[in-house]
Structure 1
Amino acid sequence: MKISEVMRPDDVLIDVSAASKANLLQLMSNRGAQVLGADRSDIVGALEHREKLGSTGFGAGIAIPHAPVEGVAAPFALLIRLARPIAFEAIDDRPVDVICLILTPPGDQAEYLKLLSTISRKLRSSETLKTIRSATDAGQIYAAIAMCED
């Protein structure tokens, strides 16, 4: 599954302010609910449950909160660059500033894992990460993450 199949240019937000991890999960859930027509409380509940299993902050200032959610009909991704990094209980204890939310329908774990792997691989690229952190507009970030896919 290609990132461009689950993320539109409007699904890239830059210089977002979040006071905490909990606040960020709420912000992402609100946006996901708005775009997908899903219940916001179902989304935030699924994300909070996933974070209790272990932080989705995988290091280098990056987090990929992800969860299957009832009411989500098709996979969805949202990329956020924060104005200021926040604590996220990441594996390396560094605060995060680049977050990619992935919401999927319950069920098809194979597609879910492929999408998670694709996004993770893309965000681990130092070139992609440099572009995300230095871009002056969301279009540059979208092009870096979604347009030049393998």
Structure 2
Amino acid sequence: MQIGDLLDRNAIALRVSAANKRQALAVIAEIAARNFGLDAGDVLDALTDREQAGSTGVGHGVAAPHARLEGLTRLRGVFVRLDHAVEFDSVDDQPVDLIFALFAPKESAGVEHLRALARVSRILRQSTLRQQLRQARTADAIHALLVQDPVHVVQDPVQASRPSAA
């Protein structure tokens, strides 16, 4: 599973304003609805239900909300960069400004969904990439950063020397 297989350029938004977690999730729901032919209310409900089960704030200013949805035929993603970080009940108690939401078909994609979620988490653990995503000026630039071959991603030497927790 490659990021490029699930993230379209049209599903990337930067300079997004949100006052809180719910507003950030609502923006993601609108983007998903517009790009994937879904109902924004249904998407927001699914994201909110998942967040009630436990926060998807994974640390370092990153969140990876995810949900299974009726009407999807394959895995899809939405990436949002917020203007100002919002509280997200993250594992490190840090506010979130980078959000990669993942959506899977309701009736399938169990293992594939988990693999994609693991891949997104692994990629966004790289501090150099997070910094580049925060500095990118266009959706095309963000897309290029997220879909690049992980072998060519500049590794943060501190992160690279730590054993993986995954």
Both proteins in one fold, TM over 0.5: yes
Contact 2:10 2:35 survives alignment (8 Å): no
- CA RMSD in angstroms, aligned pairs only: 1.2
Instruction: Tell me if the contact between 2:72 and 2:104 (Cα under 8 Å) persists in the aligned partners.
Output: yes
SS in 1 for 2:81: strand
| Amino acid of the structure 2 residue aligned with 1:108 | A
CA offsets, 1:63-98, max 9 Å, x none? 000011111222111111111111111111111000
Q: Report 1:55-66 matches (<5 A).
A: 55-66=55-66
**Paired position in structure 1 for 2:21:** 21
Q: Which residue of 2 aligns with 1:99?
A: 99
Letter in 2 for 1:61: G
Of structures 1 and 2, the larger Rg is shown by: 2
2:160 matched residue in structure 1: none
Map 1:72-111; keep pairs closer than 5 Å: 72-106=72-106, 107-111=108-112
CA distance in 2, matches of 1:12, 1:148: 19
Deviation (angstroms), 1:149: 4.2
TM-score (norm 1): 0.94
1:11 pairs with 2:18: no
Q: Give structure 2 stretches of 5+ with no counterpart.
A: 152-166
Quote the residue 2:149 is aligned against. 148
Question: Which structure 1 segments of 5+ residues have no match?
Answer: none
Taking structure 2 as the reference length, the TM-score comes to: 0.86
- Bigger RCO of structures 1 and 2 (CA < 8 A, at least 6 apart): 1
CA positional deviation for 1:147: 2.6
Amino acid at match of 2:149: C
Tell me which amino acid in the other structure corresponds to 2:99: I
* Equivalent residue number for residue 115 of structure 1: 116
